[in-house]
Structure 1
Amino acid sequence: MEYQHLALVVDDEPQMLDIVTFALETQGFSAVSAKDAESAWNLFRGRKFDLVVLDVMLPQASGLSLCRRIRETSDVPVLLLTAKSGAQDRIAGLEAGADDYVIKPFHPRELALRAEALVRRSRAAPAQSEVIVCGPLHVSQDAATVNGHYVHLSSLELRLLRRLASAQGQPVSFRDLLLSGWQIDEGPGGKEMLKTALYRVRKSLQSEGLPRAIRAVRGVGYELARPGRE
C-alpha cells in the first residue's frame, strides 16, 4: 500500500499502539509511535506530521499538556484517545486544542474514518475554497485573517468560525454548529463543548483586534457580529 499521510501515535500501551497503527494503515496512513509525551515532542519537532493521535493518560506529562504544547506551534489535527466519556473530560480536551476525540474502547474502523476526515478537512485545497469576507475578517476553508494577519486556530475552530461567517451576521443554531464541528447534532455535553471551542475562537480573534466578535444568542446558538458592531 502507498501511504498518503503520516501520523504520530502516542500511547504508553504497546497493544493500543498496534491497534491504532493498524487502523490508520487501512486508511492510507503511515504511523510513527511514541510511548510518552517527551519522546513524542522530540519526534514532532523533527518531522512534519499530518495527524497526531494522542492518548490522554500518559506517564510523566499528560496527553493534554502535550496537546497544548503542540498547539503553540502547529495547527496539525489532533485526535484524542480517552477512556473517560464524561462531558468535562471532552471539554478539557477541546480546551487543550484537540480537534476530535475517540472514547476507549473504540472500533478501529471508526478511528480510521475520523482520522481520515480530519486530515481531509485540514488539507482542503485553497483554490476550491471561497473566501468569506466579514469586514476585516477573511475566512477561507484553510485559514482566517484579520486585516491580513493570520489568526491561529485549530482545524475544528476554523470550521466553526467559517460556519458563523457564512451566516453573514445571522444566528447559527447549536445543532448546525455541532454538525459543522463534530458531525453530531447533540449529545451529552454538546453545548458545553461548543461553548468551550468558541471561547478559544473568541480569544484568538481578540488577540488580533476583534473583541466580542462572537456572541451567544439565547436559546438559539451563536452569531458573528457584523462589521462595526462587535
Structure 2
Amino acid sequence: MTTTALVVDDEPQILMIIKFALETAGITVETASDGGRAWDKFTKKYYDLVVLDLMIPVISGISLAQRIRAMSDVPIIMITALSEESDRIKGLESGADDYITKPFSPKELTLRAQSLLRRSKALTSEVVTNGPLRVDMRQHKAFVFGVPVVLSSIERRFLEVLVQNLGEPVTYRELLNSVWETQDESGGKDMIKMTAYRLRGSLGPEGAALVQSVRSVGYMMPEL
C-alpha cells in the first residue's frame, strides 16, 4: 500500500528538497504552501505522515498541528528556523511527534520520517484504508477523506464486517450472525438492506461505491 505524506512549507526550495528526499525513500508526497491549503487537503484525503513548517501563512504551523491532532493520530514532524527551546516545546505541545531545526539534513529528516512511520504502523495495524475510507477497528471509528463519520452501533458493526472481508462478498447469513448475532432469517434480508441503505447515506457520496449489494448473496466492499 502506498505511503503518502503531506508537506507544508511556504519556501518553494524547502518544499522541493523535502519532496525529493521523501520520494527517494519511496514515499508519495503532496505539498501545500500555506496552512489553509494544507488543511483543505488534509480534510479530503488520508495521509500517513505530515511534515510542516512552524512559520507558515494563513493557518500557523502550531494551529494546523492542533487541528490535525484533534481529528487524527497521523505522525507529524515540525520544521522551523527557530531554535529556542520554548518554540520546540510549543511545537511538541501542539501535537507534533518530532521536531527538526533548519538548516537540516534531508537524510536525517527521511530517517526520522521512516522511524515515525514504522512506529505508527505498529500502533495502527488494525487501521484499514480503502480509497477515501479509513476504519480504525480498535477504536471503532470511521473517516471518509479524513472527516469522522457518525454511525449507529449497527451501522458500525456492518461496516467493520465488510472491511474485515474486503473484496469478498459477505452473505446475508454471515451478516445476520456477525452484526445482529442471530441466525434467524425471518425478516433478516429486509433488515440488512435497510442497514446497508442507511450506512451508504452515513458515508456520504462515496457510500454507493463502498457498500455494494451482491445479488442473491449479500453485500461486499470492493477494493478501491
Give TM-score, length-normalised by structure 1: 0.53
1:44 aligns to what?
A: 42
Quote how far apart the aligned CAs of 1:107 are: 0.7
Asked if the contact 1:55–1:63 (Cα under 8 Å) also holds between the matched residues in 2, the reply is yes
Could you tell me which residue of structure 2 aligns to residue 82 of structure 1?
Answer: 80
Cα distance in 2 for residues equivalent to 1:125 and 1:77: 11
2:3 corresponding residue in structure 1: 5
Q: Which runs of 4+ in 1 moved over 2 A?
A: none
Equivalent residue for 1:95?
93
Matches within 5 A, 1:136-215: none
Measure, in 1, the Cα distance between the counterparts of 2:110 and 2:55: 21
The change in CA–CA distance for 1:126 and 1:39 in structure 2 (over 3 A counts) is: closer
Return the letter of the residue paired with 1:117: S
Task: Give the Cα–Cα distance (whole angstroms) in 2 for the partners of residues 74 and 103 of structure 1.
Answer: 24
The percent identity for this pair of structures is 54
* 1:70 aligned to which of 65, 68, 71: 68
Where in structure 2 are there 5+ consecutive unaligned residues?
126-135, 142-224
In structure 1, distance between residues paired with 2:118 and 2:9: 24
1:56–1:62 CA contact under 8 A, matched in 2 = yes
Let me know the Cα RMSD of the aligned residues. 2.4
SS in 2 for 1:79: strand
> Does the 8 Å contact 1:27/1:113 carry over to 2?
no
CA distance in 2, matches of 1:9, 1:82: 13
Residues in 2 aligned to 1:87 and 1:35: alpha-carbon distance in whole angstroms: 26
What residue ranges of structure 1 are gaps of 5+ in the alignment?
Answer: 128-142, 151-230
Q: Provide the C-alpha distance between the structure 2 equivalents of 1:13 and 1:52, rounded to a whole number of angstroms.
A: 16
- 1:4 is displaced (CA, Å) by 3.5
Q: Flag the structure with larger Rg.
A: 2
The one-character-per-residue Cα deviations of 1:56-80 (angstroms, maximum 9, x if unpaired) are: 0011321110000101100000000
State the TM-score, normalized to the length of structure 2.
0.54
